[in-house]
Structure 1
Amino acid sequence: MRIITFGTFDMFHVGHLNILERARKLGSHLTVGVSADALNFSKKQRYPICDQDERMRIISALKCVDDVFVEESLELKGEYIRRFNADCLVMGDDWAGKFDEFKSLCEVVYLPRTPSISTTELIEIVRAAPLRNKED
């Protein structure tokens, strides 16, 4: 079974790794669409901390990932599913129900997120951390 998933994967963390490894276990091939910088800006009104080339390189290096491509538009998900011959779309359960429209193209599975970790949380923690004095 060919699996496809999508994400920004900014500030890569164990939650990202967990969902990718679990997605891969559902099939024999995992294709990952990494959101383009412009797409991320259109969704969140901010650019990722790591640019799309860096994020693509990180995702490509994972042994659980077989193919990686840049996701240019949310409206092209159906086309990506067809292009990569996906049998199953896997997303985190924070998206539950939002991709059910693709059930006519493939199976749609929502996996539980890793509790207590998100890129947004990590960014806020880093922003709130006091700056260290070089002499410390």
Structure 2
Amino acid sequence: MDIEELLPQDPEGKKEEPKKQSPLVSLEKDLELYSDSIKEVSIAILNEGISTHPIFVAHQHTVTIGEMILDRTELNTDWTIQASTLDEFVQKGIINPEKKALFLKSYKKPQEFMCVFVIVPEGANFIYYPYKK
């Protein structure tokens, strides 16, 4: 079955509005650009013993978690990145303490992947994006 078969059809022949480009397209472009800088911060968080689980927050608005490391207005990009940790996410209630073990099971090697908490108007979610080789 094709995905199109699952989508609502337009029986009245009305033209569909053009689809908006997903914000994740611009996020991927920015993460490629930011990759080396984010990896450098991740390694610093690990080496300085701040956390064994760095988390980066990608957003286009103002958020109150983590510390800003890459400002979209200064860099003329679409996304701002803030550095945080698993501990801060638990302290702020973003990750429920009872779900911490479940989160850790899915957490990927921070030397190879950036853990990014992406915040968009529709909601927020974690993604893992590989660092450039």
Q: Which has the higher contact order (CA 8 A, sep 6+)?
A: 1
Q: Say which one has the larger Rg.
A: 2
Q: 1 or 2, which has the higher helix percentage?
A: 1
Q: Could you state the TM-score of these two structures normalised by the residue count of structure 2? A: 0.25
Q: Could you state the TM-score of these two structures normalised by the residue count of structure 1? A: 0.25
